[in-house]
Amino acid sequence: MVLEARDCSRMAHTKHTMSTDVESRRRRSTESSEPLWDHDPKGRRCSSQCDRLCVAGAYLEIPDTPSPCTSQYFGHYTPKCLSAHRHSLHSRCTDDVWQEASIRTTIRADNEVEAHKLANNYRFGFRKWKSHVTERPIEDRSDVVKELYSDLNYIKHHSGSLVTVGNVIYVLLFGWWISLFYFLVSLLMFCTIAGIPYGKLCVQLSGYFLWPFGKALQKSSSLVRKCCMKFPHCEAIPEVDEIKETSEVKESTPLLRSAPAITTEIPLTTPPPKQTRYWCRLSTYVWLVLGYPLLAVVHFLAIFLSWMLVFTIPVSKMNVRTLSIILLMPPEEVIIRTVKKAQGCETRVLLCCYRAFNWYYYKFTVDGINVFAVNLLPLVIITLVIGYMDKDNYYVSSEAKFATAVSSIIPLSYYIGMGIASISAQSNFAVGAVVNATFGSITEMAFYITALLQGHRAGNKCYAEIVKSALTGTLLGCILFVPGICMIIGGCKHREQRFNSRSAGVSSALLFISIGGVFAPTLFSKAYGNFICEGCNNLPGNTTNPFLCNNCHYDLSENNRPLFLSHIEPLVYTISVLLPAAYLIGLIFTLKTHSHIYDIHTSDAHCHDVSDHGAVVHWSRSRAVVVLILATVMMAACADLSTEHIKPIISNSSVSQYFIGVTVLAMVPELPEIVNGIQFALQNNISLSLEVGSCIAVQVCMLQIPLLILFNAFYDVGFVLIFSDLHLWASIFSVILVNYIFMDGKSDYFQGTALVVVYLILLALYFFAPAPLGC
């Protein structure tokens, strides 16, 4: 009894301490401007304000020995609803509840549209998308991201040397020839006499572009200069535009807080002489006719090259500002000066650059689209032009056309994914499910159908084998390579990552059903078909020469037609109905009856303050629909060109056609998905990384293959759902292996390495395999 009393008092003291801590945190949250909810696997901070919308679904590692009864209230609901939900969680304080709650955390979303997009990522059948579909305020981003989107018009505090590897590379790639052209144009301006002021400017800019780092281009016509009185040693530099500052003090400002920096206006001691108006000078027209066009060509070339290299985008921004602002100003108003270290205040100038190279520009986006996808978009136009204008291959070879056509699929896949995510995030569940089912597999289906049509027109069965190789390659890549590479990269950053084993179990079960259904006709043909070899060299009494047989296969179409028509073909059609039905049942199971497995929750009615007010969507629904239609049409055209020009490769290449199908044709369209999976893994969200591959593999078996069977039923292109032995056993072994890896609900880089190594071993098998039947 005494022990029980002590335990009760101890528990009461713990509850009192916890309530005090929560109340103190709540008070601090109302006085702080910091984010209200952060990922913290140890402490899991919370607050009561309602200025963020939260969505559950990321699974982080938890402490080894947590207390279920004292930690459950940090569940998947948003902090805004904490007090209302805490009592219900305490009432359900059981081992099962703790086991479920232990892998939950809360993801912060900026608005309701982003929350809907995040929730769609955890839904079965929806394409996983990492990029934002709404614009994010630049002031809420990190300093690294802010620097990426900077216009290079501020003098900022810079620490460290300006002599960096990237800056030296700039001199070698851009600086010397831009400086040389400026010097040549300056000689031309001096020869015109009237353009002498611009000649002097070009001489200065020639030295500037040779090494622009740590120098500022500023306007000298400003009549005032600003300086921060708080920092008496701060440089006073004339500005382009005066920055308006208010002296209002917020109510929450502490009384003992130091006074803000005071900006004073100091008149220039010597006013500048009066100048002739810009458009009333002869030198202006001489410059615009002779000097500016030549430098415009130089700057456009530098802009294009630096933008295509991505990591040198600051060079592109520097050239854009020079071309659009500096070269159109009166030459006497442009001053170049070396910037000393700023001590406390940032001053706006015309141009100031410190680094020409930044690795983080792989994150740079244009209207929500990653810069790499933007740069590859012109390749689509080039592919269509050379593909349909040069049909006889006079100027470009078939191999080059095939390479450009396959490469064009990458940006088109990215645009299709962005369109699907935008429509799904702004629509209800039904519309999102229809869009994902319609356009989610459009990339692969465009290639498969065009390849089958091309083979049917040419009377070549090799195209059908290439399609089967691409289907199997997509399965192997999504089952082995995608989760493997995500585990390796995520495991290098995070020691061990956890994922929801129940949701992974659902995906694994669907994979078993998919593989069993797809390869059932193949197993049936091996049990009842005729095994035929065209020729063998096994002579009587031969004991020295090897036993070789050529073109061994199960004959089901010509010599054993009744077996195919009476048994295998009905089996194929039955499977083509059962697989989509299983996919539909999986949708109902994961989205309706057992949605708690995926742990998808948004704010409830108590969080009425949160809305999508002020959220700016990159692509509206109408724009996303237009982009989807255009990207689909261009995808079909690029797929047609790739299949049209693949014949020289499969006929003249020494590499097996199996290898071409399972690598290039299978994995190139999935590159955007692989990138998404890697980004999820880096953010310690390995659950979504694994779902990326499983979702694609299930859609290949349960949607794409039945659609191909349906297409072949209406238009016979010779597609028979019978795979070679190599496809059969490689796929079955991969599914068994990945289910074994996923059993414990944990992942690290070693498990990922095992999956990738097995994938490479299978690729080696395909590389050394002989050509398939009909090639």
Highest mean pLDDT among 81-95, 640-654, 659-673: 659-673
Q: Give the amino acid at 402.
A: F
Rounded CA separation 578/573 (Å): 9
Which DSSP string do the residues of 696-752 spell out, in sequence order?
A: HHHHIIIIIHHHHHHHHHHS---------HHHHHHHHHHHHHHHHHTTTSEE-HHHH
Question: At residue 679, does pLDDT exceed 60?
Answer: yes
Which residues does 457 contact at the CB level (< 8 Å), separation at least 6? none
Residue 233 confidence class, pLDDT cut points 50, 70, 90: very low
pLDDT computed for residue 555 by the predictor: 57
Question: Of 743 and 756, which is predicted with more confidence?
Answer: 756
Contact 77, 86 (CB under 8 A): no
For 399, phi then psi, to 5°, come to -60, -45
Pairing of strands 365-366, 263-267: unpaired
Taking the model in full, what pTM does it have? 0.74
* Backbone φ, ψ for residue 44 (5° rounding): 55, 75
- What count of Cα atoms within 13 Å lies in the side-chain half-sphere of residue 333? 19
Question: Distance between CA 64 and CA 41 in Å, rounded?
Answer: 11
Say what percent of the chain tops pLDDT 90.
26
- 218: phi then psi, degrees, rounded to nearest 5: -135, 165
Asked whether residue 4 carries a pLDDT value surpassing 50, the answer given is no
Tokens of 47: 């607050």
pLDDT reading at 176 higher than 90: yes
What kind and span of H or E run contains 370? strand 369-370
Look-up of token digits 């530098």: 302
**CA 28, chain centre distance (Å):** 36
445/355 Cα distance (integer angstroms)? 45
Question: What is the three-state SS of 143-157?
Answer: HHHHHHCCCCCEECC
pLDDT at 302 over 80: yes
- Report how far residue 499's alpha carbon sits from residue 690's, in angstroms, rounded to the nearest whole number: 9
The per-residue pLDDT for range 682-716, each reduced to its tens digit, is 888 888 888 888 888 888 888 899 999 999 888 88
Asked if the model's pLDDT at residue 586 lies above 90, the reply is: no
User: What's the CA angle centered on 194, arms 191 and 196, to 5 degrees?
Assistant: 65
Asked whether 518 and 701 are in contact (CB, 8 A), the reply is yes
Q: How confident is the model at residue 442 (pLDDT cuts 50, 70, 90)?
A: confident
Q: Confirm if 348 and 222 have CB atoms less than 8 A apart.
A: no
pLDDT digits 0-9 by tens, 194-228? 899 999 999 999 999 999 998 989 887 543 444 44
What average pLDDT does the segment 16-32 reach?
Answer: 45
- Per-residue pLDDT of 358-391, as tens digits, reads 998 988 998 888 899 999 999 999 999 999 998 8
Domain boundaries, the chain: 143-220+282-360, 364-768
3-class DSSP state of 421? helix
pLDDT interval class at 546 (50, 70, 90): low
Taking residues 598-602, report their average pLDDT: 54
Helices 725-741 and 749-768: crossing angle, nearest 10°? 180
pLDDT at 553: 58
Render pLDDT for 387-430 as a digit per residue (tens, 0 to 9).
999 888 888 888 899 999 999 999 999 999 999 999 988 888 77
pLDDT of residue 42: 38
Which residue has better confidence, 355 or 71? 355
What is the per-residue pLDDT for 538? 56
Strand bridging mode 224-228 / 365-366: unpaired
Token digits for 243? Answer: 């920055």
pLDDT of residue 46: 38
Distance CA 76, CA 600 (A): 8
Residue 9's CB is within 10 A of a number of other CB atoms, namely 10
Amino acid at the residue 429: F
* Architecture of the 364-768 domain: Up-down Bundle (1.20)
Q: How high does pLDDT run on average in the chain? A: 75
**Mean predicted confidence (pLDDT) in 111-115:** 81
